[in-house]
Structure 1
């Protein structure tokens, strides 16, 4: 069941699509190409239960050694949350219910009432991928969640490190606007129809992430037909867009700690390979089992 939701929600909330094989870590050291000091690349999971959140010593040390934090979005921008709030409703007024039969409407209505205290009508004009984030948060099954991006941003502010973003909210929302509205709504329904299976697969994915099992994550997601349909849109093209910015940053004075969704790291169009193609040495820094 998570297969149906993965492209939409996992990409927007967890960013854990195919990460590639033969990678042994979530943390990578970047050197070479006349860099005066190393920088680091870290694969995140955007939301995880607080009880599952771990910050390994080597990751913490790499962050503290770095001069700047680079995320997908500039999380210390005071206007970021306001911008996000302004975009949660579909700009064309499309409704979730327009693609649902009576039974599906009842199913989604029940979810909203059980988790948000109000029914479908309140959320009917919301963008489907935003609702997907709400659904995945509920299916985590914990009251306290953590975000690696939030943690790193807080640490950067405490240590007075600059925070930069690789793209804007407008761009990220625009990515999901390219996926048909009715298809996104159907993924929501599919994830609710067998909630137990969806929760089990979500927990499996999180367990693989915690173990830094890149091969396991690859095998889990490689079978998804939906992934193949939207991989270039959600991952590959964004990775290519980021390379010019990162190349300039890495060649500038000082060092960077780059934290992006783990789904962006591996594969032929992943961050690791693209950095290597630009002449950098990218080496895994094993942290699991510390």
Structure 2
């Protein structure tokens, strides 16, 4: 996830894994019968900045299966996500903020969505952070790479698999103190100029296909470093085992996960290399 809240998943020490900036990588070797591909996504981006390069399109067509963080083609997964928007303990954001903060958040949500805090009060704080982040993108239409690849997979009759369940992903955030998540939410509104600048920089790095620069930007954010193992390292290592099994199976995979998961010591690129795979950046040209 490369939302403001999802940037929590990208923290830790930086170790370059590829000298060439790229979103697309070919995975080969280790007795694989045919190569697979690894692509770094950004979970939401303004439509004007949404691009799929010719090499990515070709790699997707050559692959026989799509693997993402969640199986977005499964209606049960989407239903599960909808069912988990509310805080499981029945907590309300309004009980953890001051009166002036309530007014600020209520006005912000009303301006952005047409509904005040009363409509969203029982939701998990990171869901509200996602709503705020979408508004701060300052564009009329957003696009999702996960949505794009899911649609393409369905059109091309490719099976789709998920590395995690929706329950697991929501459960990860349940391990972060509720009050801290509320504070992150309020910080993004109280210092909106800073929040928008961070979003703009993140998008700039993504469009430059600078995975390491993106990783470093988030790694420098002190507030998130405490949750590196919970939100990034442990998940990547779980994926390492799953992806090894997938890559050793027959057929070619197109693996699309948040770009922040690719770089660093515990990034997917390095973890696959540790297993003996060759992971090579693929230069991309606009189609």
Instruction: Measure the CA separation in 2 of the matches of 1:283 and 1:122.
Output: 47
Superposition deviation, residue 244 in structure 1? 1.7
Whether 1:42 aligns to 2:10 is: no
- Which residue pairs with 2:152 in the alignment? 155
Instruction: Measure the CA separation in 2 of the matches of 1:273 and 1:201.
Output: 26
Superposition deviation, residue 21 in structure 1? 3.4
Give 1:93-104 correspondences, 5 Å limit: 93-104=90-101
- Determine which of 155, 159, 162 is the counterpart of 1:165: 162
Equivalent pair of 2:211/2:262 in contact (CA under 8 Å): no
**Any idea what the Cα deviations from partners look like across 1:12-62, whole Å, max 9, x if unmatched?**
xxx665775353211111001110100000110000011000101111111
- Determine which of 16, 21, 44 is the counterpart of 2:16: 21
Instruction: Measure the CA separation in 2 of the matches of 1:138 and 1:193.
Output: 14
Whether 1:246 aligns to 2:243 is: yes
- Which residue pairs with 1:191 in the alignment? 188
- Determine which of 98, 112, 117 is the counterpart of 1:115: 112
Count of residue pairs brought into register by the alignment: 282
Instruction: Measure the CA separation in 2 of the matches of 1:17 and 1:64.
Output: 33
What SS class does the counterpart of residue 33 from structure 1 fall into?
Answer: coil
Whether 1:86 aligns to 2:104 is: no
Give 1:141-290 correspondences, 5 Å limit: 141-287=138-284
Backbone CA RMSD of aligned residues: 1.7
- Which residue pairs with 1:57 in the alignment? 54
- Which residue pairs with 1:139 in the alignment? 136
Rate the CA distance shift 1:207–1:17 in 2: closer, same or farther, 3 A. Answer: farther
Instruction: Measure the CA separation in 1 of the matches of 2:53 and 2:240.
Output: 27
Instruction: Measure the CA separation in 1 of the matches of 2:120 and 2:6.
Output: 17
Rate the CA distance shift 1:288–1:106 in 2: closer, same or farther, 3 A. Answer: farther
How high is the TM-score relative to the length of structure 2? 0.94
Unaligned runs of 5+ in 2: none
Equivalent pair of 1:21/1:218 in contact (CA under 8 Å): no
What SS class does the counterpart of residue 26 from structure 2 fall into?
Answer: strand
Kindly report structure 1 stretches of 4+ aligned residues shifted beyond 4 Å. 15-20
What SS class does the counterpart of residue 75 from structure 2 fall into?
Answer: coil
**Any idea what the Cα deviations from partners look like across 1:250-275, whole Å, max 9, x if unmatched?**
11110000000011111111101111
**Any idea what the Cα deviations from partners look like across 1:218-240, whole Å, max 9, x if unmatched?**
34223211221111111110011
